[in-house]
Structure 1
């Protein structure tokens, strides 16, 4: 491909800043069309973001001859169907994370892509962000010695719509739409990045429960896992805690020190070893998906390689499936 002309299926909140504008800021790339079931909202998005075309029908966008690559930014329940439709139309797909509701759906997308010879990419953009590349660089440098274990703690304040007398659970906590709850939405990023740093997870197990009864999905998860490299890991995720207890911390402990960082909220990386404590501040770019989109465009043009694709994207879903198996 010479010029990558993108179409977005599902131009909701995630596309407003994180991803949408980046498609036209990357070299040899442009956003040609957007689609949303609500025609008024699709037209509004197109007008605000200066997109030439908008649709209220997914098939119409997929079959638009001026669109040659598809970004699927709908909730996960539509990922498999839309990805396979786009693949059969011969158009590369870039799929929001998690790749689908479960590993079985991911496998069918990958199979369709390989059968048709069409590339599949997944929006695990931390593999291309400077902040997380620095964490990987520090681990690889041996600055904390041999890595022994990884610990994750994520305590996330519930969304206002999910609590109180007039609670309206969002799609992220409706398993038939999202595949699970906030764990599936957020831990997918964490496991994907940890595999990027340490290699494949060999085994994973856990306990997931709904303690507060605010919605259908599980709201607390405890897990342990082991990488093929021998590094061990554990994690706790709780989404029904008081605002004052909000926490987002990951710690990599080695034989000679430790690295502390955040997956979602903070921009500091703290390295502690025999030389002392070093704090590095690395903010995210304005459009967090832009570095990964740039690499995807380069791969589609035969100029580079994306670190996130279908084969890597499915792995986080497999891990979460193992952990949440009752």
Structure 2
């Protein structure tokens, strides 16, 4: 007789691109189809998604397509009538906080996309409410589970870099305006009134990447920009882009590490991956993307000499060595879902909680404030 257990998961926001593709299809349904999350004792945690959304036609179609039995347009019903244990939120940030508070009030454990709230005050309200209610809360930190950053983590843990000096990040690509070619991102991303903006979106990511690989952010100097002031929406209608589409940040980390990250939806790609982090240390350097990571050790570092009068003959890219995979890596979103579900039933831990999410919101707010005021801002510690 099987001792497997089943966790009902209310999934809100699965009609959106990220909620549908990464969280429903590639995570929860993939876990369902593999027979559950394996546990050390040989049993498994089975998952039962319960879909909720405002558009009944879309939600019903997704449920039928993927063989999901239970769905509703009533969040209160989903939280209280189906016996679920976990609530997941991938909605627009503007409507996330009240929904999560309802889930907390209903006694469900909560896992959510980021930003967890529109502002720091809201993020802390959620964190404190979850703590007071005793529910297990988690925030998506997907990039830490990607192959390139897992290799970078391995290098950091091994002491490969010696003393880490600096980090340089480049993220972004050209998002078409929508007039002569359809945009690759939804139009709300470029309207601040709908929760859009590069800083709000990506500084939450950079906060947890920097904190968990190199050290917490202690100060920020940022400059944001709206390079493309007019775009065209999904119906072909022109609209004013009121949100920033690029953010240029300098982040001062604990231990004296300086990080610089450029984020832009108005840049054309000339690098191997859409995001890359170049890390320099006294003993070696690395460049990591989402998938690959290459290194150059101190002992193999060439000795360039500046001479603008001669053509460059040094094959710099060929002087780096690729870090091997050494292990199969699952989809990053799915891997974190499995970790969180084990945590929910008391197997292991999940350190990426609502307070971690609040730190991401804090950095985004500080970045916007730094840009508006034209100055460096130190970050104050968050208290529970």
TM-score normalized by the length of structure 2:
0.77
Does the 8 A contact of 2:10 with 2:88 survive in 1? yes
The structural deviation recorded for 1:281 is 5.8
Is 1:261 aligned to residue 285 of structure 2? Answer: no
Q: Residues 139 and 287 from structure 1, CA distance in 2 versus in 1: closer, same or farther, beyond 3 angstroms?
A: closer
SS at match of 1:306: coil
1:13 alignment counterpart: 17
1:241 alignment counterpart: 267
For 1:119 and 1:39, how far apart are their aligned partners in 2? 29
Match of 1:126 among 143, 146, 162: 143
Q: Residues 106 and 55 from structure 1, CA distance in 2 versus in 1: closer, same or farther, beyond 3 angstroms?
A: same
The structural deviation recorded for 1:94 is 0.7
Q: Deviations over 1:181-218 (max 9, x none)?
A: 13332342232111111221111121112233131101
The structural deviation recorded for 1:244 is 6.4
SS at match of 1:324: helix
Match of 2:367 among 310, 313, 323: 323
Q: Residues 128 and 262 from structure 1, CA distance in 2 versus in 1: closer, same or farther, beyond 3 angstroms?
A: closer
Q: Residues 159 and 287 from structure 1, CA distance in 2 versus in 1: closer, same or farther, beyond 3 angstroms?
A: farther
Match of 2:322 among 279, 292, 317: 279
> Equivalences for 1:87-236 in 2 at 5 Å?
87-161=104-178, 170-178=187-195, 180-214=196-230, 215-236=241-262
How many residues align structurally? Answer: 321
Q: Residues 127 and 241 from structure 1, CA distance in 2 versus in 1: closer, same or farther, beyond 3 angstroms?
A: closer
1:291 alignment counterpart: 335
For 1:243 and 1:164, how far apart are their aligned partners in 2? 20
For 2:120 and 2:58, how far apart are their aligned partners in 1? 32
For 1:299 and 1:65, how far apart are their aligned partners in 2? 22
The structural deviation recorded for 1:300 is 0.8
SS at match of 2:22: coil
Q: Deviations over 1:59-115 (max 9, x none)?
A: 221223321111101111111111111000000111112222222221111111012
What is the RMSD computed on CA atoms of the aligned residues? 2.5
TM-score normalized by the length of structure 1:
0.89
The structural deviation recorded for 1:158 is 1.2
Larger radius of gyration: 2
SS at match of 2:103: helix
Match of 1:23 among 4, 28, 42: 28
Does the 8 A contact of 2:148 with 2:288 survive in 1? no
For 2:86 and 2:54, how far apart are their aligned partners in 1? 19
**Gap runs ≥5 in structure 2:** 38-44, 231-240, 301-319, 373-384
For 1:278 and 1:8, how far apart are their aligned partners in 2? 42
The structural deviation recorded for 1:227 is 1.2
Q: Residues 7 and 285 from structure 1, CA distance in 2 versus in 1: closer, same or farther, beyond 3 angstroms?
A: farther
SS at match of 1:291: helix
SS at match of 1:211: coil
For 2:347 and 2:330, how far apart are their aligned partners in 1? 24
SS at match of 1:317: helix
**Gap runs ≥5 in structure 1:** none
Q: Which moved more, 1:40-49 or 1:240-249?
A: 240-249
The structural deviation recorded for 1:169 is 6.3
For 2:181 and 2:147, how far apart are their aligned partners in 1? 42
SS at match of 2:356: helix
Q: Residues 32 and 268 from structure 1, CA distance in 2 versus in 1: closer, same or farther, beyond 3 angstroms?
A: closer
